[in-house]
Amino acid sequence: MTSRIKLVVACLATAALLVPLAWLWAASLLPDEYSVMDMGYADYGGGSVDPAEMSHLRNSSSRADEVDVSTLVADPETSADVKVDLVARKERFELKFGREVDGYTLNGESPGPVIRAEQGDLVQVSVRNESVPDGMTLHWHGVDVPNAMDGVAGVTQDAVLEGETFEYRYVADEVGTYWFHSHQVSHEQVRGGLFGTLIVSPENVDPTVLDVPEIAHT
């Protein structure tokens, strides 16, 4: 009888040790799938610091070496070589092969208009958010631009809310074919069609060479 009691006690002790370990092991496993977009919240900019306090912080000696991101722009006195006006909308539109979808457009189409420039051109793109409810920006993917023109909402600029306009200005120094897209709620807006193509050609390109971009999106 004593040996049986010892065996039961040993089993219970083993279970008391293994069950919590098994639970901790199972709880530590990653789920089959998850979205990082479910974490945190959409940052529309503006911050929570009182403007008077922010002014004090900017002028304090401890922050003398810091630079306001909004000042990192192309020379405002230089005239633009390429000027483009874009209007962003949330709307139902027709894809090239005829299917209608609910998404986002630039100037009524998706992908948006192709922007063309020559190497060294100063590009100026004015974008107005007519009806994108969560705000939007334009990020120039792969293009070396001044920080204030990089279009990352909550980091380098505030999101452009409905009814607002933002002007992007940068020198297109590097030849190549790039794309631009919204960087506000990107998982929804890019998937919904808020993007376009930027082509930077070499200077004095041969006019007989035909360059036709075709952008695809799954």
* Residue 10 falls inside a structural domain: no
29 exposure class (CB count in 10 Å sphere: 0-12, 13-18, 19+): exposed
Q: Is the pLDDT of residue 60 over 60?
A: no
Q: Token pair of 107, please?
A: 């100037």
- The pLDDT score that the predictor gives to residue 71 is 85
Is the distance from CB of 167 to CB of 183 less than 8 angstroms? no
pLDDT above 70 coverage of the chain, percent: 83
Q: Is residue 96 part of a domain?
A: yes
**Token pair recorded at residue 31:** 């789920």
pLDDT of residue 32: 67
Q: Is residue 150 part of a domain?
A: yes
Tell me the sheet residues that pair with 147.
none
Question: How many structural domains does the chain have?
Answer: 1
- Tokens encoding 186: 């990107």
Is 8 part of any domain? no
pTM of structure: 0.70
Domain of residue 177, CATH code: 2.60.40.420
Model confidence over 92-150: pLDDT tens digits?
Answer: 998 878 889 999 999 999 999 999 999 999 999 999 999 999 999 999 999 999 999 99
| Confidence band for 54, pLDDT divided at 50, 70 and 90 | low
Query: What's the domain range around 183?
Result: 81-201
Q: Residue 24 domain-assigned? A: no
* Token pair listed for 70: 């909004």
Element (H, E) at 129: strand 122-129
pLDDT band, very low/low/confident/very high, at 41 (cuts 50, 70, 90): low
In a domain, 137, yes or no: yes
